[in-house]
């Protein structure tokens, strides 16, 4: 059987593909590292210097289109894309925020498990303990920290720091706060693609006057996605805390979230799991516990994954009321809920100290292939 495709024809066709935003073609750019042709199959090894998804997709689409048009319309084409590592170093290496000692991400595998509620309460509890604390609402598409911290009608000011103009975080309950919610109308949906959201997030991180902080708490969006990657590529997280309810659906999502942080190319220490909505105890029978969403699901998951269990928080109306009125429940004195938040926060600090003693400082993630993060294996 004669070959349908010749390597020379592939090279000629690729000479018609221009680099996005440039006048030179793929062959002239020397980005093509290898071409293998076998029958109707073509394998192209491509090394690019721009790691953005849009750049990669544009080149891939142009390659497929030109080969199908000029060489063979039924060609089976595989494109292996990698990034020039020397370029990646300069693109992905960013300084840790000056004067911030510890950066902790609060995460959840799915929405609706109380992640933002717990993030705001941990922040306030840390401040009560005497630490200097900031909280960054990184949930670009559903910011709720301004409401929970009773600052939703406030707007950050700009201040001069040397020759730079920076955003001054809003402060309440002795916690410095920044959120995309400060810059949008309450009823306005944020409809941004990943790069625009990442840019806004980077501005809140690096162009803000946080000052000296013992802790910066980052309230991540639910799930795993662009924002999570932007955070780990921008900041060396000291650890992550994962929130889940006891039900199986939430636990499976939490398992994937933990797997994201522990992947080899991300490698952020998981300080522990917190189980929210663990049980319900009616006021009339405070010793009676109803396990509405299941019993000890997150605790069992922590054992299964060998991750610390930081504690549990029951279902209680006061938690919802406190969040709705912008008065975190951790501000209450001598209540079971505030004691639970206090214990969880102390456990988190304990795990952070253990992590700092046994592990080297976390490095900023350097993604060196266009797949970014591989599919998470269960």
As a whole number of angstroms, the distance between CA 334 and CA 239 comes to 29
As a whole number of angstroms, the distance between CA 82 and CA 234 comes to 20
Residue whose structure tokens are 């939703």: 152
Q: How many other C-beta atoms are found inside a 10 Å radius of the C-beta of residue 275? A: 31
Distance of CA 221 to the CA centre of its chain: 7
Name residue 160's beta-bridge partners.
165
Query: Is the pTM here over 0.75, yes or no?
Result: no
* pLDDT given for residue 169 in this prediction: 94
Phi, psi values for residue 327, rounded to 5°: -125, 85
Percent of the chain surpassing pLDDT 90: 36
Quote the DSSP letter at residue 25.
B
- Indicate if the pLDDT at residue 131 is higher than 90: yes
Class of domain 7-91: alpha beta
As a whole number of angstroms, the distance between CA 202 and CA 204 comes to 5
* pLDDT given for residue 122 in this prediction: 96
Residue whose structure tokens are 């494109």: 79
Per-residue pLDDT averaged across 149-174, rounded? 90
- Indicate if the pLDDT at residue 146 is higher than 50: yes
As a whole number of angstroms, the distance between CA 238 and CA 218 comes to 11
Phi, psi values for residue 246, rounded to 5°: -75, -10
User: Are β-strands 100-108 and 213-219 bridged in parallel, bridged antiparallel, or unpaired?
Assistant: parallel
| Helix, coil or strand: residue 34 | strand
Domain positions in the chain: 7-91, 94-358
- Indicate if the pLDDT at residue 178 is higher than 80: yes
Per-residue pLDDT averaged across 25-32, rounded? 89
Phi, psi values for residue 325, rounded to 5°: -95, 5
* pLDDT given for residue 268 in this prediction: 87
**Domain 94-358 bears CATH identifier 3.40.50.300:** yes
**Domains 7-91 and 94-358 are alike in CATH topology:** no
- Residue 215 belongs to what H/E stretch? strand 213-219
End-to-end CA distance of the chain: 44
* pLDDT given for residue 92 in this prediction: 40
Which tens digits make up the pLDDT trace of 257-282?
A: 888 888 767 788 899 999 999 888 88
Residue 204, token pair as written in the block: 């809140």
């Amino acid at each position: 059987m004669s070959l349908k495709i010749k390597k020379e024809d592939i090279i000629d066709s690729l000479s018609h593909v221009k680099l996005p935003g440039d006048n030179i073609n793929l062959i002239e750019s020397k980005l093509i590292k290898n071409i293998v042709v076998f029958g109707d199959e073509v394998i192209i090894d491509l090394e690019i210097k721009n790691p953005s998804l849009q750049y990669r997709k544009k080149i891939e689409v142009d390659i497929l289109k030109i080969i199908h048009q000029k060489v063979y319309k039924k060609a089976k084409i595989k494109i292996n894309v990698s990034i020039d590592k020397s370029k990646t170093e300069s693109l992905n290496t960013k300084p840790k925020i000056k004067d911030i000692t510890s950066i902790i991400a609060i995460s959840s595998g799915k929405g609706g498990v109380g992640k933002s509620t717990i993030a705001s309460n941990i922040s306030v509890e840390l401040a009560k303990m005497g630490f200097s604390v900031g909280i960054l609402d990184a949930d670009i598409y559903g910011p709720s920290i301004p409401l929970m911290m009773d600052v939703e009608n406030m707007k950050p000011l700009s201040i001069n720091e040397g020759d730079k103009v920076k955003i001054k975080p809003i402060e309440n309950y002795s916690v410095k706060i920044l959120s995309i919610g400060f810059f949008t109308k309450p009823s306005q949906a944020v409809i941004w693609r990943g790069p625009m959201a990442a840019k806004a997030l980077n501005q809140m991180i690096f162009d803000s006057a946080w000052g000296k902080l013992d802790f910066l708490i980052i309230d991540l969006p639910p799930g795993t996605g662009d924002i999570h990657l932007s955070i780990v590529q921008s900041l060396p997280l000291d650890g992550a805390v994962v929130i889940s309810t006891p039900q199986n659906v939430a636990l499976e999502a939490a398992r994937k979230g933990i797997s994201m942080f522990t992947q080899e190319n991300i490698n952020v220490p998981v300080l522990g799991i917190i189980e929210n909505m663990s049980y319900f105890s009616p006021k009339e029978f405070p010793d009676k516990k109803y396990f509405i969403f299941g019993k000890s699901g997150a605790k069992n998951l922590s054992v299964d994954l060998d991750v610390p269990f930081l504690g549990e928080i029951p279902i209680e109306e006061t938690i919802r009321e406190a969040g709705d009125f912008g008065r975190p429940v951790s501000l209450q004195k001598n209540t079971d809920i505030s004691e639970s938040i206090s214990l969880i926060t102390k456990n988190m600090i304990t795990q952070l100290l253990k992590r700092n003693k046994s592990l080297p400082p976390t490095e900023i993630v350097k993604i060196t292939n266009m797949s970014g993060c591989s599919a998470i294996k269960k």
